[in-house]
Amino acid sequence: MPEDANQPDNDNADTLASPSLLADLLARILADREAELASEQAVRGLDAMDELPLHRVLAEGLEGAKLGVFPEFPYPGRVWDDEGGRRPGRNARDRCDLVLTPSADLPPADPVATLRERDEADRTLFGSHVREAIEREHTDPGRRWTDPAEAYWLEVKTVGQFAFRAGAPDANRAYSTELVAAGEDLGKLGADGVISRGALLLLLFAADEETVRHDGVRFVHACLDRGLPAGSPAIRCVPIVERIGNTCCGVVLAPLRA
């Protein structure tokens, strides 16, 4: 019997179900990019990149691993605006840095967009017919999509022990403050109401592996102290060429606690 085309890749499904496997994959992606920079004898490394370029590095690597990657995807849980009575517009909705699914042809469904379609249909002359067509489209068992509760929602933050300030490398005097503040997106993930799988990925650039491991655990404890839903972290260390004081890129994956 041929394999069902709607069945996700088992390896990818396993990766998204395991913070340890996902952290391994993310570390390999960053190690590959670091190797490219080293071979190019680049003056600036991973620790000089802004968050958005790092998001693209991660997205390209995850796509290369045959995962579905959907950047800046809107959060699914807020179905009314703050005043009630209206659906939030696309620009008014919070967005997640990277939403992952088992394959590129299984995008996450957007329940708020569907509700907006139905609301618009109800305002038309043939609203009931249009609404029925929308219902058929979104309940079609052959339609390929991922329930947002089954997708993996990944927020990404970077903190460096040494960083560029005003164009020049220096010790980051705000390092401790930034480390504590980096966990805020865990609160957004946990409060959404629909999202059940996700994590905050902290890319922690530091002078050595010992600092990464110590401060990665410290980061999670700070999240817990603030009541944020952080689970046990998966921590990986990627050696990087020392350019500004950092020799390690820490992959600190703090999963959303159930």
Does residue 167 share a domain with residue 135? no
Query: What contacts 149, CB < 8 A, 6 or more positions away?
Result: 194, 195, 196, 197
Q: Do 223 and 130 sit in the same domain of this protein?
A: no
**203 CB contacts (<8 Å, ≥6 apart)?**
30, 46, 54, 156, 157, 158, 159, 249, 250, 251, 252
Rounded average pLDDT over 74-84: 68
User: Helix, strand or coil for residue 248?
Assistant: strand
Calculate the average pLDDT of the chain.
Answer: 86
Q: What are the tokens at 123?
A: 């305002």
Q: Report, as an integer, the average pLDDT of 237-255.
A: 97
Question: Among the listed ranges 49-53, 134-138, 249-253, which one has the minimum average pLDDT value?
Answer: 134-138
The answer to whether residue 77 is domain-embedded is yes
**pLDDT, tens digit (0-9, with 9 covering 90-100), for 227-237:** 999 999 999 99
Residues 39 and 88 in one domain: yes
In this structure, the answer to whether residues 88 and 127 fall within a common structural domain is no
The verdict on residue 122 lying in a domain is yes
How many CA atoms within 13 Å lie on the side-chain side of 121? 15
Q: Are 103 and 110 in contact (CB under 8 A)?
A: no
Would strands 95-101 and 68-74 be described as parallel, antiparallel, or unpaired?
Answer: antiparallel
pTM recorded for the entire structure: 0.85
Question: How many domains are contained in the chain?
Answer: 2
Domain that holds residue 162: 10-105+147-255
